[in-house]
Amino acid sequence: MTVLPATMEALVVTAPGQLEIRQVPVPIPGPNEVLARVRAVSICGTDAHLIHGDYPGFWPPAFPFIPGHEWAGEIVALGPGSALHGWTVGDRVAGTSHDACGVCQKCVEGRYNLCENYGRPGLHKQYGHSYQGADSTYVAQGIKTIFPLPGSLGFDEGALVDPASIALHVANRGRIEPGDTVAITGAGTIGLLGGDAAFIRGAGRVIVVGRGYRLRKAAAMGFETVDSSADDPVAAVRAMTGGRGADVVLECAGVPEMINAGLGMLRRGGRCSAVGIPTEGVAIGMQRLVLDELELVGSRASAGEMRRVMPHLEQGRMRVRELITHRFALTDYQQAIDTFNDRASGAIKIIVNP
C-alpha cells in the first residue's frame, strides 16, 4: 500500500495578482471521489483572469485559493464507493472541472455544465473555479469529473483533453454541418482546436481570424487565415466567401469588438457559437440579428465531450501536441503565468508539471 505524505506543494493565490507556493494538507477523498497524483496541469485563459482578480467574488468565491482545472495524472487513493464504479489505484485519468449535482433538471438532461445548483455547497463544485483546483501535487475530485486516459496519450496531452472537449462543445453548439464554411475569431488554444473540431464535424472550410504568432500557427496547421491587425476581418471573410459570409462562426476571443465582428461575418440565417467570456458588457446590433435571423448562442465548458474527444486526440485529428509551447515546474509558476500573459513569448499552451 502506498503511504501518502501529510502535506504537498500547491500554488496558492493569496490575493489578486499574488501567488505563493505553499505546503498544504493532502486532501482526503470523500464518497465517490478519488485522490490523484497530478502529473500535468495546463494554464487556461480563465486561470490568468482568476489570478488577476477579474471575476471578484465569483471565481474564486474567496482567497486564498488553489486554481487549475485542466490536468492529468494517476489515482493513488479511492474514496468510499469509488471502487464500485470500476476505479482502481494506478488508473491513468484526465480531469475536467464541473462536478455537478446530477439530479437537477439540467443534469438529468445531460447538460451538467448548466447545473441548476451551481456553487451550492454539498451539491456542486467547479474545481479550480468555485472550489480548490489541481495546481498541486495531489487533487481530490469526484468520479463524475475524471475519465480514463488512453495509454497512447501522455500526461501532458492528457492535460489538454479538457480544452479539446470545450473546443468540440463550441463546435457542437454551432451545429456545423458537412460542407459549411466556418470562421473562428481568436487563434488561441480553443480557437485552434475549434478549427480541428469544425473539420471533425464536416466543415468544408475553416477561416481563423487573429494576429501575431498564434495566427501564424493557424496557417501552419493548414487553416485559412485573416490578420485582424492588418485587415477588416468582416470585409475579409465576406470577400473570401463571395460576399455571402460564413455559415457558422465560433467566437473564441471573448472581446467585444470580435463578438460583433463574428456576427458581422455571418451569412443570412447563420449561427455564432460564443465560448469567449468578455469581462465587460457588449452592445449588439439587434436589427440585423432579427432581420437576418442570426443566432447567437453561448457555449459553456463541455457536456459529455470528454469521452468523445479522446479518440480524436489518439488519432491526431485533434492536434493538442502541436499547441504545447512551454513546460515549467510548479515551483516556477510565476514565470509560467508571466510567460502565458506575455504576447511576445510565443506561448500557446503551457504545461506545469507538479
Question: Per-residue pLDDT tens for 181-222?
Answer: 999 999 999 999 999 999 999 999 999 999 999 999 999 999
* 307 domain-assigned: no
Residue 314 near residue 340, CB atoms below 8 Å? no
pLDDT score of 85: 97
Average pLDDT score over residue span 231-251 = 98
The enclosing domain of 245 has a CATH number of: 3.40.50.720
Residue 35 near residue 76, CB atoms below 8 Å? yes
pLDDT score of 311: 98
Q: What angle do CA 179, 182, 183 make, to 5 degrees?
A: 160
* 343 domain-assigned: yes
* 223 domain-assigned: yes
Q: Determine if the peptide bond prior to 60 is cis (ω within 30°).
A: yes
Secondary structure E strands in the chain: 7-15, 18-25, 33-42, 70-78, 92-95, 98-99, 125-126, 138-142, 146-148, 181-185, 205-210, 224-227, 246-251, 266-274, 295-298, 324-329, 349-353
Same domain membership, residue 149 and residue 88: yes
Same domain membership, residue 262 and residue 177: yes
The per-residue pLDDT for range 261-312, each reduced to its tens digit, is 999 999 999 999 999 998 888 999 999 999 999 999 999 999 999 999 999 9
Same domain membership, residue 114 and residue 72: yes
Q: How many Cβ atoms are within 10 Å of 313's Cβ, its own excluded?
A: 25
Name the domain count of the chain.
2
The per-residue pLDDT for range 312-329, each reduced to its tens digit, is 999 999 999 999 999 999
Amino acid symbol at 126: Q
Same domain membership, residue 221 and residue 141: no
pLDDT score of 2: 72
Same domain membership, residue 180 and residue 141: no
One DSSP character per residue, 292-337 reads TT-EEEE--S-SSHHHHHHHHHHTTSS--GGGEEEEEEGGGHHHHH
The enclosing domain of 85 has a CATH number of: 3.90.180.10
Same domain membership, residue 263 and residue 149: no
* 269 domain-assigned: yes
What are the residues facing 103 on neighbouring strands? none
Amino acid symbol at 207: I
* 20 domain-assigned: yes
Residue 146 cell numbers, joined: 475524471
pLDDT score of 1: 57
pLDDT at 8 over 80: yes
Same domain membership, residue 224 and residue 329: no
Work out the pLDDT band at 247, boundaries 50, 70, 90: very high
Q: Which domain holds residue 342?
A: 7-160+320-353
Q: Determine if the peptide bond prior to 61 is cis (ω within 30°).
A: no
* 2 domain-assigned: no
Same domain membership, residue 136 and residue 260: no
* 216 domain-assigned: yes
Q: What's the number of CA atoms in the CB half-sphere (13 Å) around residue 191?
A: 29
Same domain membership, residue 155 and residue 58: yes
Average pLDDT score over residue span 99-127 = 97
282 CB contacts (<8 Å, ≥6 apart)? 256, 259, 260
* 303 domain-assigned: no
Same domain membership, residue 284 and residue 330: no
Same domain membership, residue 152 and residue 184: no
3-state secondary structure of 90: coil
Same domain membership, residue 139 and residue 250: no
Global pTM reads 0.97
Average pLDDT over all residues of the chain: 97
How far, in Å, CA of 162 to CA of 69, rounded? 8
